[in-house]
């Protein structure tokens, strides 16, 4: 069934509900991308482009500064939490309410109601942020159309509880592998148990003391954790292979190469195979555009305790921050919800900044 057109005359909380009720799990964002593109093309003050399921809309007013407002269209898999529902306490429940369709709603409302902002604006809506980096729509835009993303400052409307989160952690995943010799479990002494050999890997992780790095006054706590274990063939076979999948969340003071070197040092003596990596982003809050934004929002900034696509803007030389409605601790949960008041407040704060 085709979704109804978006009604951007409604407030941002109502637009959030409209967006939430259009399922858009990663790699299945087309229906939402179509309806967002349709709404943006109806606005005569915007130039609209599309690449796959990523949509970019821009004003062209010749302002001295251009700001990029960006957000991802996709959600994690639905957990019996659609359609959206609004409760008596003013909480909107449903998959994507926090991460991050409330942020998308704020973008769309600003796109519809600010034909002459004090800065030129670029609105970016992209696909596949919640899965492996190879699918990421913003990554594709950086590669295919970097000129669409040009700007002096970027705001990624990820949920931050209406706080400014500067920069982001980097993330690295590796397989720490062991090998043994397969045998019948009734004659285990004839084999070498690769799962047992993983015990020192887990011991090193349990004893590991992560850094807490301070950059520009913002704290970035690191973490090195096992997230999966792979091994075993059958209930009567001594396993000859095992791998502990480890995720390292590292401070943006390290490069990806430095992070990998550190993980290799921690697991010296074991085979370490990198499987996925993305750089962090320094906060850059001393940049004039970023400092002006922090002052306009009026809250104390914090370091981002996760990886986000601000790193992609940072790689383009564009200072970027995370700022949006919603509690990030509720992201990806069955109980995901967002306060109507928080969505409206985020829209009004950004509107005030873009019209002052």
Instruction: Answer with the one of 278, 293, 318 that is the final residue of a domain.
Output: 278
Between 2 and 50, the more confident residue is 50
Q: Does residue 4 lie within any of the structural domains?
A: no
Helix (H) or strand (E) holding 342: helix 340-355
- Cα gap 9→335, rounded to integer Å: 28
Q: Does residue 43 lie within any of the structural domains?
A: yes
Q: What is the pLDDT of residue 86?
A: 97
Q: Does residue 101 lie within any of the structural domains?
A: yes
CATH code of residue 92: 3.40.630.10
19 and 162 both lie in a single domain:
yes
Q: Does residue 5 lie within any of the structural domains?
A: no
27 and 105 both lie in a single domain:
yes
Q: Does residue 193 lie within any of the structural domains?
A: yes
177 and 293 both lie in a single domain:
no
Helix (H) or strand (E) holding 138: helix 137-144
Percent of the chain with pLDDT over 70: 99
pLDDT digits (tens, 9 = 90+) for 114-135: 999 999 999 999 999 999 888 9
27 and 60 both lie in a single domain:
yes
Residue 98 has what DSSP assignment? I
Residue 2 has pLDDT above 80, yes or no: no
115 and 202 both lie in a single domain:
no
Q: Does residue 2 lie within any of the structural domains?
A: no
User: Taken in order 71, 24, 133, 218, is the CA torsion positive or negative?
Assistant: positive
Instruction: Name the residue range of residue 101's domain.
Output: 12-168+281-355
Count of domains for the chain: 2
Q: Does residue 1 lie within any of the structural domains?
A: no
181 and 152 both lie in a single domain:
no
- Cα gap 208→117, rounded to integer Å: 49
pLDDT digits (tens, 9 = 90+) for 203-234: 999 999 999 999 989 999 999 999 999 999 99
201 and 235 both lie in a single domain:
yes
Neighbours of 144 (CB within 10 A): 12
Residue 174 has pLDDT above 90, yes or no: yes
Q: Mean pLDDT, to the nearest integer, of 8-17? A: 97
- Cα gap 28→95, rounded to integer Å: 14
Instruction: Answer with the one of 261, 278, 295 that is the final residue of a domain.
Output: 278
Residue 216, sorted as left (phi over 0), alpha (psi -120 to 50) or beta, turns out to be left
Q: What is the pLDDT of residue 1?
A: 52
267 and 204 both lie in a single domain:
yes
DSSP E strands in the chain: the ranges are 47-51, 54-58, 66-72, 85-86, 91-93, 120-126, 153-156, 165-166, 170-179, 183-184, 212-215, 218-221, 223-231, 237-238, 241-250, 271-278, 302-303, 320-322, 337-339
Q: What are the b/e assignments for 46-71, b being 16+ CB within 10 Å?
A: bebebbebbbbbbbeeeeeebbbbbb
- Of 194-198, 231-235, 286-290, 328-332, the least confident: 286-290
- Of 50-54, 70-74, 317-321, 346-350, the least confident: 317-321
Neighbours of 345 (CB within 10 A): 15
Q: What is the pLDDT of residue 38?
A: 98
199 and 219 both lie in a single domain:
yes
Q: Does residue 120 lie within any of the structural domains?
A: yes
pLDDT digits (tens, 9 = 90+) for 263-303: 999 999 999 999 999 899 988 888 888 888 999 898 899 99
233 and 311 both lie in a single domain:
no
CATH code of residue 224: 3.30.70.360
Residue 325 has pLDDT above 80, yes or no: yes
Using CA atoms, how far residue 355 sits from 120, 121, 161, 324, in Å, is: 11, 12, 23, 18
Bridge-based pairing of strands 237-238 and 165-166 is unpaired
pLDDT digits (tens, 9 = 90+) for 65-75: 999 999 999 99
The whole-model pTM stands at 0.86
pLDDT digits (tens, 9 = 90+) for 238-256: 999 999 999 999 999 999 9
- List CB contacts of 146: < 8 A, sequence separation 6 or more: 316
63 and 162 both lie in a single domain:
yes
Backbone angles phi, psi at 155, to 5 degrees: -120, 120
Q: What is the pLDDT of residue 292?
A: 86
Q: Give catalytic residues, as residue numbers.
A: 74, 129
Bridge-based pairing of strands 302-303 and 165-166 is parallel
Using CA atoms, how far residue 337 sits from 89, 96, 103, 162, 213, in Å, is: 11, 8, 13, 15, 31
- Cα gap 218→281, rounded to integer Å: 12
Do the Cβ atoms of 117 and 68 come closer than 8 Å?
Answer: no
23 and 143 both lie in a single domain:
yes
Instruction: Answer with the one of 231, 247, 278 that is the final residue of a domain.
Output: 278
């Amino acid at each position: 069934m085709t979704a109804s057109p978006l009604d951007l005359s409604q407030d941002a909380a109502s637009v959030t509900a409209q967006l939430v009720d259009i399922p858009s799990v990663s790699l299945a964002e087309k229906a939402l991308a179509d309806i967002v593109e349709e709404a943006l093309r109806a606005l005569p003050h915007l130039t609209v482009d599309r690449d796959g399921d990523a949509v970019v809309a821009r004003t062209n007013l010749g302002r001295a500064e251009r700001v990029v407002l960006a957000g991802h269209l996709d959600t994690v898999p639905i957990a019996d939490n659609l359609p959206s529902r609004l409760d008596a306490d003013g909480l909107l429940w449903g998959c994507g309410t926090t991460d991050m369709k409330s942020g998308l709603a704020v973008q769309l409302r600003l796109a519809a109601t600010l034909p002459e902002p004090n800065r030129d604006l670029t609105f970016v809506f992209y696909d596949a942020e919640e899965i492996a980096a190879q699918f990421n729509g913003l990554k594709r835009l950086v590669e295919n159309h970097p000129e669409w993303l040009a700007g002096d400052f970027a705001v990624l409307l990820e949920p931050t509880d209406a706080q400014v989160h500067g920069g982001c952690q980097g993330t690295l995943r590796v397989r720490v592998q062991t090998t043994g010799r397969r045998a019948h479990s009734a004659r285990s002494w004839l084999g070498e148990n690769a799962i047992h050999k993983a015990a020192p890997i887990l011991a090193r992780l349990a004893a590991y003391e992560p850094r807490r790095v301070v950059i520009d006054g913002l704290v970035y706590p690191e973490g090195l954790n096992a997230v999966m274990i792979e091994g075993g063939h059958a209930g009567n076979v001594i396993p000859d292979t095992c791998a502990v999948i480890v995720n390292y969340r590292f401070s943006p003071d390290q490069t990806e190469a430095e992070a990998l070197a550190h993980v290799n040092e921690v697991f010296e003596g074991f085979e370490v195979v990198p499987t996925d990596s993305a750089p962090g982003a320094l906060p850059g809050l001393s940049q004039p555009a970023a400092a002006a934004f922090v002052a306009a929002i009026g809250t104390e900034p914090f370091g981002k305790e996760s990886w986000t696509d601000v790193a992609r803007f940072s790689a383009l030389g564009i200072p970027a921050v995370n700022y949006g409605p919603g509690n990030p601790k509720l992201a990806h949960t069955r109980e995901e919800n967002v306060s109507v008041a928080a969505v409206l407040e985020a829209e009004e704060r950004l509107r005030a900044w873009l019209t002052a």
